[in-house]
Structure 1
Amino acid sequence: MTIDVEQDNPFDFILEPYATSYPFRYLPHEAHALAPYMDASIIAHSHRVLDWLYSAISDVNQHSDIVQFLASINQAVHRDIGYARRDEEGVQSPNETLELRLGSCRDMAVLFISACRHLGMAARFVSGYLFDPPIDGSHGSAHLYNRAVGSMHAWAEVFLPGAGWKGFDPTNGILANEYFLPSAVAHEPQSVNPIQGKFFSKPNDTPVTSTMEIDLTLEELKE
């Protein structure tokens, strides 16, 4: 794929006056449309999230700057959860991620989403790619910020009135910019698995096995 992107300042947006601080309340028509992204019960086994959040950051009940507040939650996940690439299917529950203090990018994204929903904010799961500009000309030896370099990536988006959906990457503790290339979004990660499919065979057929290998390389095309 060749993707044409423009430079994007993740802080360059204007919020509605009623949504500049926390807590805020979505307008009725917004809340109706955002209902699937605000339902904290969709993410099972997340009852420990608020206890962790209250211990991880200050001013949870009231914060004068909503963007800084969300950035603090983003940084808290990045700080408290170690990164581990997991190739097996599925996503850890937030409780499991907090217990292990370890998870993949999708696990950390789900933890961040769960925290936002428990606080009354709409959040969704994003699957895609992250281009990390190499420092020395190669991704393998040095990179600027991507803990998950060389694999697909997952992050989260929060709906902020006036700005729309804004991306937060708890794996790397940063806001999403033009280097984040989304391919799918959903209210739950199971809806955007990168690989899906089925096969059928007759009951007496020899069992069928399959393997797949993926090599992902992201490169910047110079003008």
Structure 2
Amino acid sequence: MITKELLTKLRNQVLEIVNNRVKSQSLQESLGVSKKSDFSIVTLVDQEISDLVHMSLKHMVKDGYHFFSEEEQVSFGFPSIILDPIDGTRELAQGLGECVVSLALMTTPSSGFAWLFNPFTGFEISSHSKWVEPVIFNTDKLFGYVSKGDLKKGLLNHIDEIDHLEIVAKGSIAFKLGLLASGACDFVYSKTPKNIWDIAAGTLLCWERGFKLYQMGKEVKQLDDIRIDGELIWCRKENFKTLSSSLVK
């Protein structure tokens, strides 16, 4: 579907775009930060990476793939190229490294190839990556990543009182899902709706490694909607009952 050589080329080109735009003397100006009609922000990095991926994968579009990027919503269907050029744009604009390029090449709503790449830290995981069973240091608590926004709004205050859970807030849902798929935590939890480009690649990677997605207590087995609402938990099946009873309020 996508060769390692093409992935290497994309990685290098993404790094070139980011390095050209991220200039410490005037980050906001060099990124070209602006607001979209829904008041979310967008940068020149988002637009340039979206154009890059569209051009690099134009052969797949000619073969019948839909192209659906946050910045270029051409069409949605399957097979599909689903892209968030930078998930975590707000963190990017603040000079934080909690963001990733999120690319999913979905042949069906439940299968395909996924790639996540953080151009600041070098963190990268894809369907080509080998799974290495993580070392478990603490079996008394389940450790998970949650949304900074959810935490700031006070939506997660009740978790502080739960002894068997530990949470850390990070930006970018795609980045958090990449960390989960790499074995860096036990779960990811979100109380706010997500768009398909936010979660497609990360969810595919989690599915490949035995993590499941639950929406309002029910397992989600395919991503065939542009937007997914409700409280979302990504975790292993054996941890879902404990997490659901503790997190969902």
Greater relative CO (CA pairs within 8 A, separation 6+): 1
Larger-gyration structure (1/2): 1
TM-score for both structures, normalised by structure 2: 0.27
Higher helix share: 2
TM-score for both structures, normalised by structure 1: 0.29
Higher strand share: 2
